[in-house]
């Protein structure tokens, strides 16, 4: 893998997780954020420090423990595909950053 | 006008129904107070005096016509700005939603309207509820009502400060990792985070969907019970709302804790807890013991793992939930940008604040291929162990008692410089969200500088009634002792 949080042995006070430029670039793409060079440096430090902290979880033996996404037994709720909320077209389009008649205008997607 | 502001929400409604005051007078008194205090404390993002007074007039007419007879009819309420309000700006304290006017209201807000409560305005908060101080709001900080040099806590800081300052009679907040309980504690008011699934989240702008829950911030425990009863419901529009929970909370307003088993986790009284907070919280435990509860220390376990698990799960969910803010259908859009992807990136980079970007980045990382198992799934496994630790505790105890936060409200500007340190302040509140439990914050004293200290009571899932009964008893006992 071309990006990564390289793990160095944790010497007193130094960060164990070192976030490299490629990782920050990649995370920026996933997050759809454009960071300035200054922001990138800050993000590398912040993220490394948080991951060091999160690494505490490795002290826990979680083998055989199922990942718990919900504490209560929730299930998907199905309903008939019937419109119940009426036509909110005008109210919805009022929030459009740019509109043309009854459409949202977006920047050109294809050349 | 002064004495009207001293009423609790329930008292005010009684007096309005008895003809002693009108809903319009109550709203006018609130706006008079806002005129005096708001410039300095800044509890609200959006205020509209005229429409608030018009709604109050309409409610007053319905009260006189006996169409509205409920316990909160006519009461002015503040609504946190991450709850959608039809026709009223809902910004989540973010630039990216600076112009977003929802076409519908959150279910909890609709319930308030049905109950005859009247919205004062939209309360300030940390941007997208990410923060513990209300300093990450794009629209400026809220100040602590007791000492304006300090923060009100967060993320529901505007709601808590507005209640404490009498800029409303009650408020709605939301709690993902302590965002109702901690500001209530810092501002000296009552805050209740319900069991996950007790209140519909429909229309609450999601931060971390598996942890978010809407709840009341009020002047006392009785108001909290009434407000929770008004907003709690099963809702088809929220598939995580629970169909058959007991939602008769006001029935628990009973001054009696005889035989109630209350556990004090030793893990919550270790390093990092301020001495004055510890003393006040342990004194509160004595009050409940004197009132007949059986109080005992125990080891809860897992306390130190709650914060790393939370900041993995919450940021992961946030990175996914906040993808919808892309400048296409609503909200801020950057100007003069060529190409769709550039527009997305520029819009989001300009629209989100620093803390929100920090969490989206971390969340994107822990969900990314190659790290998903090591971070995200590890955190979900940890969550299962945290839940198990609480299950064991609730096999022995009715309630768990501890502090809300390790300290009283910090000074403005001290927290954001070191995010990790700020996150550590969530240590006593966060595990409650991970385990889906209800928790309440009740004022239990003040530190040497007069800043409020909060007592936290935690119950098992759907044990709000025990929580309310103990909190109500504690409040009654302490008020009686002060007299």
pLDDT digits (tens, 9 = 90+) for A15-41: 688 899 999 999 999 999 999 999 999
Tell me if ipTM is over 0.85.
Answer: yes
Q: Do A65 and B385 touch (CB under 8 A)?
A: yes
Q: Is A84 near chain B, with CB under 8 Å?
A: no
Verify whether the Cβ–Cβ distance B381 to A43 is below 8 Å. Answer: no
Distance CA B253, CA B381 (A): 37
Which of B85, B96, B103 is the best mutation test for A, with the most CBs of A within 10 A? B103
Q: How far apart are CA A26 and CA A43, in angstroms?
A: 12
Judged by a CB distance cut-off of 8 A, whether residue A26 touches chain B is yes
Helix (H) or strand (E) holding B191: strand B190-193
Closest alpha carbon within chain B to A66: B381
d(CA B461, CA B435): 8
Q: Which domains does chain B have, with CATH numbers?
A: 2-252 (3.90.1300.10)
Who among A49, A106, A107 is closest to B420 (CB)? Answer: A49
Q: Which of B326, B352, B385 faces A62 most closely, judged by CB atoms? A: B385
Residue in this structure with the two tokens 């940008």, named with its chain if needed:
B337
A51-60 pLDDT, tens digit each:
999 999 999 9
Radius of gyration of chain B (CA): 21
DSSP-based helix, strand, coil % in chain A, nearest 5: 35, 10, 55
Q: Which residues of B have a catalytic role annotated?
A: 80, 155, 179
Judging contacts by C-beta atoms under 8 Å, the chain B residues touching residue A106 are 328, 340, 343
- Picking from B236, B304, B340, the nearest residue to A106 by CB comes out as B340
Please report the residues numbered 57 through 76 in chain A whose beta carbons come closer than 8 angstroms to any beta carbon of chain B.
57-58, 60, 62, 65-72, 74-76
Tell me the domain boundaries of chain A. 5-59
Give chain A's mean pLDDT. 85
pLDDT, residue B482, reads 63
Query: Inter-chain contact B419–A46, Cβ cutoff 8 Å?
Result: yes
Structure tokens at B358: 């920090």
The count of CB pairs under 8 A between chains A and B is 170
pLDDT of residue A6: 45
Per the CB < 8 A criterion, the answer to whether B30 and B168 are in contact is yes
Tokens for B420? 């990790």
Determine contact: A28 vs chain B, CB below 8 A.
Answer: yes
Which chain B residues have a beta carbon less than 8 Å from that of A104? 328-329
B351 SS3 class: helix
Q: Does A1 reach chain B within 8 Å, measured CB to CB?
A: yes
Token pair for B288 = 């409940």
Cis peptide before B155 (omega within 30 of 0): yes
Residue from the list B103, B323, B383 with its beta carbon closest to the beta carbon of A88: B103
Reading chain B (483 residues) residue by residue, the pLDDT tens digits are 558 999 999 999 999 999 999 999 999 999 999 999 999 999 999 999 999 999 999 999 999 999 999 999 999 999 999 999 999 999 999 999 999 999 999 999 999 999 999 999 999 999 999 999 999 999 999 999 999 999 999 999 999 999 999 999 999 999 999 999 999 999 999 999 999 999 999 999 999 999 999 999 999 999 999 999 999 999 999 999 999 899 999 999 999 999 999 999 999 998 899 999 999 999 999 999 999 999 999 999 999 999 999 999 999 999 999 999 999 999 999 998 889 999 999 999 999 999 999 999 999 999 999 999 999 999 999 999 999 999 999 999 999 999 999 999 999 999 988 888 889 999 999 999 999 999 999 999 999 999 999 999 999 999 999 999 999 999 999 987 664
Distances from the Cα of B471 to the Cαs of A81, B146, B157, B400, in angstroms? 45, 23, 22, 12
Distances in Å between the alpha carbon of B405 and those of B156, B160, B268? 15, 15, 10
B364/chain A closest Cα distance in angstroms? 6
**Cβ <8 Å between B420 and A88:** no
Q: Which CATH class is domain A5-59?
A: mainly alpha
Helices (H) and strands (E) in chain A, counts: 3, 4
């Amino acid at each position: 893998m071309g990006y990564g949080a390289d793990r160095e042995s944790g010497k007193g006070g130094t960060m164990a997780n070192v976030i490299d430029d490629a990782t920050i670039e990649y995370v920026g793409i996933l997050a759809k954020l454009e960071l300035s060079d200054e922001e990138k440096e800050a993000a590398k430090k912040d993220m490394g420090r948080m991951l060091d902290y999160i690494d505490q979880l490795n002290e826990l033996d979680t083998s055989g423990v199922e990942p718990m996404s919900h504490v209560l037994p929730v299930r998907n709720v199905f309903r008939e595909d019937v419109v119940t909320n009426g036509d909110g077209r005008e109210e919805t389009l009022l929030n459009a950053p740019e509109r043309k008649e009854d459409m949202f205008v977006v920047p050109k997607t294809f050349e | 006008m002064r004495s009207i502001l001293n009423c609790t929400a329930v008292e005010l409604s009684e007096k309005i129904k008895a003809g002693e005051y009108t809903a319009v007078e109550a709203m006018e008194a609130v706006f008079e107070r806002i005129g005096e205090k708001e410039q300095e404390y800044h509890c609200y993002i959006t205020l509209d005096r005229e429409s608030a007074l018009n709604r109050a007039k309409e409610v007053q007419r319905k009260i006189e016509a006996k169409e509205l007879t409920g316990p909160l009819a006519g009461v002015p309420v503040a609504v946190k700005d991450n709850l959608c309000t039809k026709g009223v700006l809902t910004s989540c304290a973010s630039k990216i939603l600076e112009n977003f006017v929802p076409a519908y209201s959150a279910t909890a807000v609709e319930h308030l309207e049905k109950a005859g409560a009247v919205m004062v305005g939209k309360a300030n908060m940390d941007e997208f509820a990410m923060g513990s101080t209300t300093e990450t709001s794009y629209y400026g900080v809220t100040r602590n009502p007791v000492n304006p040099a300090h923060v009100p806590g967060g993320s529901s800081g505007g709601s808590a400060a507005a209640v404490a300052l009498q800029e409303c009679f009650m408020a709605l907040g939301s709690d993902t990792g302590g965002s109702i309980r901690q500001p209530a504690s810092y501002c000296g008011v009552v805050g209740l985070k319900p069991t996950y699934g007790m209140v519909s989240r429909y229309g609450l702008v999601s931060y971390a969907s598996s942890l978010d829950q809407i709840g009341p911030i009020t002047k006392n425990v009785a108001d909290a019970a009434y407000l929770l009863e008004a907003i709690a419901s099963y809702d088809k529009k929220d598939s995580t709302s629970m169909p058959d929970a007991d939602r008769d909370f006001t029935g628990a307003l009973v001054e009696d804790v005889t035989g109630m088993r209350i556990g004090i986790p030793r893990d919550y009284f270790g390093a990092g807890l301020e001495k004055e907070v510890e003393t006040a919280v342990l004194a509160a435990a004595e009050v409940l013991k004197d009132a007949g509860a059986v109080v005992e220390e125990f080891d809860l376990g897992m306390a130190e793992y709650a914060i790393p698990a939370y900041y993995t799960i919450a940021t992961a969910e946030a990175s996914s939930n906040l993808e919808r803010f892309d400048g296409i259908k609503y909200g801020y859009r950057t100007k003069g940008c060529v190409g769709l992807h550039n527009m997305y990136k520029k819009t989001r980079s300009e629209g989100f604040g620093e803390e929100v970007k920090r969490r989206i980045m971390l969340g994107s990382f822990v969900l990314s291929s190659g790290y998903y198992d090591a971070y995200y799934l590890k955190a979900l496994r940890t969550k299962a162990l945290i839940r198990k630790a609480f299950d064991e505790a609730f096999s022995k105890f009715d309630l768990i008692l501890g502090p809300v936060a390790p300290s009283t409200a910090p000074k403005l500007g001290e927290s954001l410089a070191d995010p990790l340190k700020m996150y550590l302040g969530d240590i006593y509140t966060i595990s409650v969200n991970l385990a889906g439990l209800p928790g309440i914050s009740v004022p239990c004293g003040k530190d040497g500088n007069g800043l409020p200290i909060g007592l936290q009571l935690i119950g098992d899932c759907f044990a709000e009634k025990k929580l309310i009964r103990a909190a109500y008893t504690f409040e009654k006992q302490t008020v009686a002792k002060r007299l």
